Structure 1
Amino acid sequence: MSNKSLIALIVVVVVAIAAWNCFYIVSQTERAVLLQFGRVVQADVQPGLHVKVPYVNKVRKFDARLMTLDAPTQRFLTLEKKAVMVDAYAKWRVKDAERFYTATSGLKQIADERLSRRLESGLRDQFGKRTLHEVVSGERDALMTDITASLNKMAEKELGIEVVDVRVKAIDLPKEVNRSVFERMSSEREREAREHRAKGNELAEGIRADADRQRRVLLAEAYRESEEVRGDGDAQAAAIYSKAYGQDQEFYGFYRSLRAYRESFANKSDVMVLDPSSDFFRYLEKAKP
């Protein structure tokens, strides 16, 4: 190969390499910034094919997919100074490529370290505002929503990243806290049971009182009706007696005397002191031979 051919080949290779270095591609899952001598000249390069000046411009690409920060298990104090062991994680992604590069040099490790410190501070603040009962059972969702909002506000401003979600995976109680929590929850359940029993007794008393009232009303109505029936019967009996008396007064008097004898002498153990000549024995005197 002649010198001219060799030189031509070298020139072609150099031109090809230079041409190759003039182009770069940003994928859909990436964020990128264009640098010129280490200074950002294009802040947020969109996905696609782009041109740069070889050896003058440099491209830094960052993964724009969702990242996970697993925070180490940490000990926090609640509002009443009760200790809890918290295991949490955060989901984040690059939102502002220039700010992310400036704050972290484009390194995920640095971003995780700074975000982890902020997450720890935010969790400590949120747990310190709530009681143990609230963080264990009552307000965990509200706690995660609040910490996500506050952490995202800081992260966008300082790191150029968006915190999509913060989740508390587990809240465990240290051994020294377990006993006090158990006792408090037991006392609360006992108090609730007493309240339910008191309400049940009150309801039962009301039902019994209403039943007694209805019983008295029914008995009074029945007594009134029975007295009315008895009064009607007595009136009818009196009318019959009066009619019979009008038809045969002597027989009616005799019949009344017999009834009086039967009722008076029904109990053989009774002792009666009467004058034999009294009107009570008038019909017995007539019966003598």
Structure 2
Amino acid sequence: MNKSAFLLPAVAVVVVGLLSSVFIVDERQKALVLQFGQIVRVKEDPGLSFKLPLIQEVVRYDDRILSRDFEPLEVTPSDDRRLIVDAFARYRIADVERFRQAVGDGGEEAAARRLDSILRAETREVLGSVSSNDILSVDRAALMLRIRNQAIAEANALGLQVVDVRLKRTDLPPENLAATYERMKAEREREAADEIARGNEAAQRVRAGADRTVVELVSDATRQSEITRGEADAERNAIFAESFGSDPEFFEFYRSMTAYSRALTSENSTMVLSPDNEFFNYLKSDEGASAN
């Protein structure tokens, strides 16, 4: 009876000791075996492992890529145009032994806060060396790479590996938005005025060219018409001259009849002429013939 009473507690102690000496490392973790606060072993491979019960303890750290959002950060680029930058970083614990030595019992949250300080300082330095247009342009990927590269050395001292740094948003401070909007509006209005002026200038050139073309066409048409009219008049005069030369008496009679037709345009036409005027020679001849 006394033997059984002694054996059962001993077996229980052995079982508890065996269970406390076994630990499992998940594939998403890395582990440190500590003895009186000192690192005695690093366990990075997943699976079953052993430690000294009661004397040694196991501390596990996440081996996955972690994400950390910055608090919105105000930066002043080289052109003194203040910006509010919202960014985040992705990192992982690369060296658990160095990580433990750097942050102690503070763990991952303490490391994340120290990483925040590093990245905020590097972000201010990099973005402060360029203009706001560079930050707002599509080429800012190069700036993010510079921030990451400059933060790598300091992060390595913490046992961290900075995988990536990204700028999520870049905004103007609220007090600068109205002034920026007015400046952009003035620039667009100036560009619009320039375009209108250039358009008016081009329209004036087109109108001047059209007016010149019209003058040239009218002048040429007038010249051609005068040439044609002159040629027609010359041909008419040649015909008259030929007719006059063929039968001068008939030509004289024809011209007199035409003159009568143009002069006596109404029934009550009145003409005052001297008796010996030659205008009515042919009428006088007719009257003389009738009297005879």
Work out whether the TM-score is over 0.5: yes
* 1:219 paired residue number: 218
Query: 1:54: which partner in 2?
Result: 52
Segment of structure 1 superposing worse, 183-192 or 125-134: 125-134
Change in Cα spacing, 1:3 to 1:214, as seen in structure 2 (3 Å) is farther
Counterpart Cα distance in 2 of 1:81 and 1:114: 28
Q: Which amino acid aligns with 1:125?
A: E
Aligned residues: 274
Give the match for residue 153 of structure 1: 152
The answer (yes or no) to whether the contact 1:148–1:166 under 8 Å persists in 2 is: no
Match of 1:248 in 2: 247
Matched, 1:125 2:125: yes
Partner Cα separation in structure 1 for residue 188 and residue 164 of structure 2: 38
Kept in 2, the 8 Å contact 1:23–1:49? The answer is: no
Structural RMSD (CA): 4.0
Q: CA offset at residue 65 of structure 1? A: 3.8
Q: Aligned AA for 1:45?
A: E
Report the equivalent of 2:92: 94
Partner of residue 283, structure 2: 287
Give the distance between the partners of 1:224 and 1:6, measured in 2 at CA: 141
Q: Is the 8 A contact 1:66 1:91 kept in 2?
A: no
SS at match of 1:32: strand
Indicate if the aligned counterparts of 1:92 and 1:163 stay in contact, CA closer than 8 A.
yes
Larger C-alpha radius of gyration, 1 or 2? 2
Counterpart residue identity of residue 285, structure 1: N
1:188 and 2:184 are equivalent in the alignment: no
Cα distance in 2, alignment partners of residues 66 and 127 from structure 1: 26
Does the 8 Å CA contact 2:68/2:89 hold for their aligned counterparts? yes
Q: How far apart are the structure 1 equivalents of 2:52 and 2:181?
A: 69
Deviations 1:237-270 (A, max 9, x none): 345435533543322233345556777899xxxx
CA distance in 1: counterparts of 2:107 and 2:11, whole angstroms: 37
Q: For residue 115 of structure 2, what is the amino acid of its counterpart?
A: L
How many angstroms does 1:234 deviate by? 3.4
State the match for 2:270 in structure 1: none
Runs of 5+ unmatched residues, structure 1: 267-273
Q: What is the Cα deviation at residue 286 of structure 1? A: 4.5
SS at match of 2:89: strand
Cα deviation, 1:34-80, whole Å, max 9, x if unaligned, reads 556623643x713x214233247654321234434343344433324
- Give the share of equivalent positions with the same residue, in percent: 27
Aligned mates of 1:144, 1:130 — CA distance in 2: 9
TM-score by length of 1: 0.71
Alpha carbons of structure 1 residues 165 and 226: separation in structure 2 relative to 1, 3 Å: same
Using a 3 Å threshold, how does the CA distance of structure 1 residues 71 and 78 change in structure 2: closer, same or farther? same
Per-residue deviation, 1:172: 3.9
Alpha-carbon contact 1:96-1:161 (below 8 Å) kept: yes
Distance 1:20 1:276 in 2: 164
Distance 2:156 2:211 in 1: 74
Matches within 5 A, 1:1-289: 3=3, 6-7=6-7, 9-10=8-9, 12-34=11-33, 38-39=38-39, 41-42=41-42, 45-46=44-45, 48-55=46-53, 58-84=57-83, 86=84, 88-98=86-96, 99-105=98-104, 107-132=107-132, 135=135, 137-138=136-137, 141-142=140-141, 145-146=144-145, 148-150=147-149, 152-154=151-153, 156-159=155-158, 160-169=160-169, 171-173=171-173, 175=175, 177-178=176-177, 180-227=179-226, 229-231=228-230, 233-238=232-237, 240-257=239-256, 259=258, 282=278, 284-288=280-284, 289=287
Residue pair 2:148, 2:162 contacting (<8 A) in 1 also: no
* Structure 1 residue identity aligned to 2:50: K
Per-residue CA distance 1:132-160 (angstroms, 9 max, x = gap):
5655x546844862464345524543332
- Distance in 2 (CA, whole Å) between partners of 1:185 and 1:239 is 80
Unaligned runs of 5+ in 2: 266-272, 288-292
Deviations 1:207-234 (A, max 9, x none): 2233224323433443354345435543
TM-score, normalising length: structure 2: 0.70
